[in-house]
Chain A
Amino acid sequence: MGDEFDYQRVMDILGSREQFTQGDVACAYGALLGGCTFFAGYPITPATEIAESLARLMPRIGGVCAQMEDEIASISAVIGAAWTGRRAMTATSGPGFSLMQENIGYACMTETPCVIIDVQRSGPSTGQPTEPAQGDMMQARWGTHGDHALIALAPASVQECVDLTRLAFDLAEQYRTPVLVMTDGEVGHMREKIALPTAEQVTLRERRRPTMPSDQFVPFRAVQGRVPEMADFGTGYHTYVTGLTHDERGLPATDDAAVHTQLVARLCGKIEDAVAELTRVEIDNDEGATVGLVSYGISSRSAAGAVKLLRLQGVPVSHLRLVTVLPFPEQAVREFAAPLERIVVPELNLGQICHTVREAVEGTAVVEKVARIGGEIIQPAAIVRAVQEGGQPVRSG
């Protein structure tokens, strides 16, 4: 089962290249244009429209779409499907994301490519189901137990829901890892104009599969770089996949400290050491600025608004938007911070990524936050005020 992709077949179903639609629907479009042919999910506001869109579209391109009994089953089915060679995805929001955590760790440990969209809503617990938030960012980093690394992207627009979901599938295959698309209820439900990519713009990065005879293939040995080739189930390679600590053959070696250390170091290293090539940031530097904003997702739009207002008033301010949030673009943030005295981080939570920013700049600039919860997005004026009068302090948690 290869991931044969037929651009025209997908576009025949999606319709015109230019559309006016919702972020959630755009995620579904991005998935199909990213070669996704398997979706399993469970309804939850504000992510349900992704499942509803794919329930409608997926069978029309010959793919599979299943509503499972819960989110644990959804991520399980996605991982199972990925091992047959498919590009597979699930989509959820906070409560479901919590339920998926154990198996996200399983996907890290077994190096299973998959995409998980978290349309963040206000928590903890059931919280404010219909309200946007960015409260799952630390869960994205550390939600599953044990040392691990993965990739997280943060769309800030409906267009980016298409583009980053599409990209997520390529990155998942390239690094053999779960990739999280961390959107939110605002981006998920707002409507904007999108332009779908042309056939030339869509070239899928194929999964690297073994070509050697099966008796020579060592399923978890990385021959080239640190990502092993992946043999699809059913192709005669007889791969044993386990979440237990395993040697390069994939066989359990649970009481061997060296095997465990080597394995986990490789799994973390293959992502963390690729941070330079994974870094996607948008930088809007202002000559002479001593204050900068670091933002991501929906809050970066508030930040961009604040930058405009400040510059109109003649206040120089720089802005860095994180498109890749994990692995954290530490170097890019540090360089951005070099000329700055203060950095303000606006987030729809009580302060999550601001800590990572503070760690990255290591005291070269003071990091402050504009933290907002309750369901409304941050007003640019609040960020303007923080730049001019000082933001909220970031304290060690």
Chain B
Amino acid sequence: MFNKAEKIREKYIREEMWPSIFCTGCGIGNVLSYTMRALDELKLDIDRCVFCSGIGCSSRLPGYIEADGLHTTHGRAIAFATGVKLAAPDLNVVVFTGDGDLAGIGGNHFIHAARRNADLTVICVNNFNYGMTGGQVSPTTPVAAVATTAPYGNLEEPFDLCRLAIGAGAPYVARWTVGYPYETIEAIKNALAKPGFAFVELLMPCPTGYGKENEQREPAVAWQWYKENTITRGDLGRLDPEQRAANRKIVVGTLWDVQKPEYTARWAEFVQSL
């Protein structure tokens, strides 16, 4: 396992970028290694992959990958990625984004890309806050959680990003926490293999931004919280109906997986038909 991790790192990581900017106890490094594993297992040609991102800690991910990368402006990663994909449908286009980047400033691009259904793999690192700017409230911050711009506790209802993606038309939607490595790798593989807009939400501890005000400053405590407060879809299904109805834990798993015509393929067909 260790050997394999070393090999994958050698193969995919941009060494000049090390050490990373991420804080101790941050889960973004895990997202990176799970994605690399997924790419490796699918044997994707790294020369034919483009990693796009917006702005935020999570959006720094493409910089650490020895591949083409497009680190864009805050919220716009999916729109840039759409341009890449429409212009060069043969490329594998992956988007790394944060909860703020995706659902705050970039929400419009998110729903429209899900609707359009061009073949993008969108990996959203949800840490319940704006990590890079120091812990402000985000569109996924739970009610009553404290943030630097919600010092008395958040009053707004958060988005359920996965339901939003499903509602907007995404054919593949999964949610995991970084505490589920193998399941996450599988989900990223599924997303990469899915022809169409595939969305993977990864819940992830941010001890520095979100943790400091919400009793998750200690990395070990933060990681524990994600274990205790999530339930897999399978486990939920095994509960009796009453318990299931009473469940307040965040459901993780493959939440949606359907077949739909992919946009760039439709465009190519249409151009052919003229």
Chain A residues close to B by CB (< 8 Å): 1, 38, 40, 59-60, 62, 64, 66, 68-70, 72-73, 76-86, 88, 102-103, 106, 233-244, 249, 251-252
Chain B CB within 10 Å, residue with most, of A40, A76, A78, A106: A76
Please indicate the chain A residues that have their CB under 8 angstroms from the CB of B90 in the complex. 234
Please indicate the chain B residues that have their CB under 8 angstroms from the CB of A239 in the complex. 68-69
- B242 within 8 Å of A (CB atoms): no
Cα A244 to Cα B73 with chains together (Å): 10
Chain A CB within 10 Å, residue with most, of B63, B82, B83, B112: B83
| Pairwise interchain contact B50-A102, C-beta atoms closer than 8 A | no
Please indicate the chain A residues that have their CB under 8 angstroms from the CB of B270 in the complex. 59
Please indicate the chain A residues that have their CB under 8 angstroms from the CB of B17 in the complex. 251
Residues of B73-124 whose CB lies within 8 A of A: 73, 76, 79-88, 90-91, 108-109, 112
What bracket does the count of chain B residues touching chain A fall in? 35 or more
Interchain Cβ contacts within 8 Å, total number? 133
Q: Min CB distance, A226 to chain B, in Å?
A: 23
Please indicate the chain A residues that have their CB under 8 angstroms from the CB of B109 in the complex. 69, 73, 76
Please indicate the chain B residues that have their CB under 8 angstroms from the CB of A40 in the complex. 83, 86
Given contacts A69-B112, A79-B80, A82-B83, 17 further A-B contacts (CB under 8 A): A38-B87, A59-B270, A62-B271, A69-B79, A73-B79, A76-B79, A78-B83, A81-B83, A84-B87, A84-B88, A85-B87, A88-B83, A233-B70, A234-B68, A238-B47, A240-B63, A251-B16
Q: Which residue of A lies closest to B14 (CB)?
A: A240
| Pairwise interchain contact A83-B84, C-beta atoms closer than 8 A | yes
Task: Please name 29 pairs of A and B residues whose Cβ atoms are closer than 8 Å in the assembled complex, sorted by A.
Answer: A1-B88, A40-B83, A59-B267, A59-B271, A62-B271, A64-B267, A66-B82, A69-B79, A72-B79, A76-B73, A76-B79, A76-B80, A77-B80, A78-B83, A80-B79, A80-B83, A80-B85, A80-B87, A81-B83, A83-B84, A85-B87, A103-B73, A106-B73, A233-B70, A234-B47, A236-B47, A238-B67, A238-B68, A243-B72
Q: Min CB distance, A244 to chain B, in Å?
A: 7
Cα A62 to Cα B87 with chains together (Å): 11
**Chain B at the A interface: mostly helix, strand, loop or mixed?**
helix
| Pairwise interchain contact A76-B48, C-beta atoms closer than 8 A | no
Please indicate the chain A residues that have their CB under 8 angstroms from the CB of B62 in the complex. 240
| Pairwise interchain contact B108-A81, C-beta atoms closer than 8 A | no
Q: Min CB distance, B83 to chain A, in Å?
A: 3
| Pairwise interchain contact A1-B72, C-beta atoms closer than 8 A | no
Q: Which residue of B lies closest to A59 (CB)?
A: B271
| Pairwise interchain contact A242-B76, C-beta atoms closer than 8 A | no
- B187 within 8 Å of A (CB atoms): no
| Pairwise interchain contact A241-B112, C-beta atoms closer than 8 A | no
B47, B81, B87, B274: the one within 8 Å of A235 (CB): B47
Please indicate the chain B residues that have their CB under 8 angstroms from the CB of A242 in the complex. 63, 69, 71
Please indicate the chain A residues that have their CB under 8 angstroms from the CB of B73 in the complex. 76, 102-103, 106, 243
Chain B residues close to A by CB (< 8 Å): 14, 16-17, 47-48, 50, 52, 62-63, 66-73, 76, 79-88, 90-91, 108-109, 112, 267, 270-271, 274
B70, B81, B87: the one within 8 Å of A241 (CB): B70
Cα A239 to Cα B48 with chains together (Å): 12
Cα A351 to Cα B167 with chains together (Å): 49
Please indicate the chain A residues that have their CB under 8 angstroms from the CB of B80 in the complex. 76-77, 79-80
| Pairwise interchain contact A84-B84, C-beta atoms closer than 8 A | yes
Cα A86 to Cα B87 with chains together (Å): 7
Given A59-B270, A76-B79, A103-B73, verify A81-B91 contact (CB < 8 Å): no
Cα A1 to Cα B88 with chains together (Å): 7
Cα A70 to Cα B75 with chains together (Å): 13
Cα A80 to Cα B79 with chains together (Å): 8
Q: Which residue of B lies closest to A247 (CB)?
A: B16
Please indicate the chain B residues that have their CB under 8 angstroms from the CB of A88 in the complex. 83, 87
B68, B82, B88: the one within 8 Å of A73 (CB): B82
Cα A62 to Cα B271 with chains together (Å): 6
**Top-4 shortest CB links A-B:** A80-B83, A77-B83, A76-B79, A81-B87
Given A84-B88, A238-B66, verify A69-B76 contact (CB < 8 Å): no
Q: Min CB distance, A105 to chain B, in Å?
A: 9
Please indicate the chain B residues that have their CB under 8 angstroms from the CB of A78 in the complex. 83
Q: Which residue of B lies closest to A76 (CB)?
A: B79
Cα A249 to Cα B80 with chains together (Å): 21
Q: Min CB distance, A254 to chain B, in Å?
A: 10
| Pairwise interchain contact A59-B87, C-beta atoms closer than 8 A | no
Please indicate the chain B residues that have their CB under 8 angstroms from the CB of A83 in the complex. 50, 68, 70, 84
Q: Min CB distance, A65 to chain B, in Å?
A: 9
